[in-house]
Amino acid sequence: MNSRTNVTNGHQVLQRLARQGTEAHETSMVTSPGARATAWAAKVKSHDSYNVYNVCAVQITDAGSLPVEVGQQMQAVNLAESFLDEGALPADTYVLMCRVGNKNVFYAPV
């Protein structure tokens, strides 16, 4: 019976401490791996329209060697150019790309 009393008292102490912790108004934030912005290197393959380009992700390997294209081509928007004019970024330009909402974007001044 004594051990049962100790367990009950232990639960009461934990509940009291838990209530005191909520009175302190602590704030916390939980983030998941998908909640952060991910960036990767890409190579501009061709111009599509306005400031939209066809790009391909690249993997950077050892120093002194060219990056290797990986995956399929995708479209990305160059935020450094006007949304109303034709883009002028040359093909074979390497950029740092990230995902914003449902669009791939990069910033590469011409």
Q: What is the pLDDT of residues 35-59, one digit of tens each?
A: 555 889 999 999 999 999 999 999 9
Compare 17 and 50 and report the one with higher pLDDT. 50
Mean pLDDT of 53-68: 91
| 38 three-state secondary structure | coil
For the cut 80, the answer to whether the pLDDT of residue 93 exceeds it is: yes
pLDDT at position 2 is 60
Compare 97 and 28 and report the one with higher pLDDT. 97
φ, ψ at 26 (rounded to 5°): -75, 145
Compare 54 and 28 and report the one with higher pLDDT. 54
Under the banding of pLDDT at 50, 70 and 90, the label for residue 77 is very high
> In angstroms, what is the C-alpha Rg of the chain?
26
Count helices and strands (H / E) in the chain. Answer: 1, 6
Single-letter code of the amino acid located at 16: R
Give residues with Cβ within 8 angstroms of 61, minimum separation 6.
67, 68
Which among 102, 93, 100 has a CA at the least distance from the CA of 54? 93
Q: What is the DSSP string of 63-103?
A: TTS--EE-S--EEEEETTS-SSS---PPTT-EEEEEEETTE
Does this model's pTM top 0.75? My answer is no
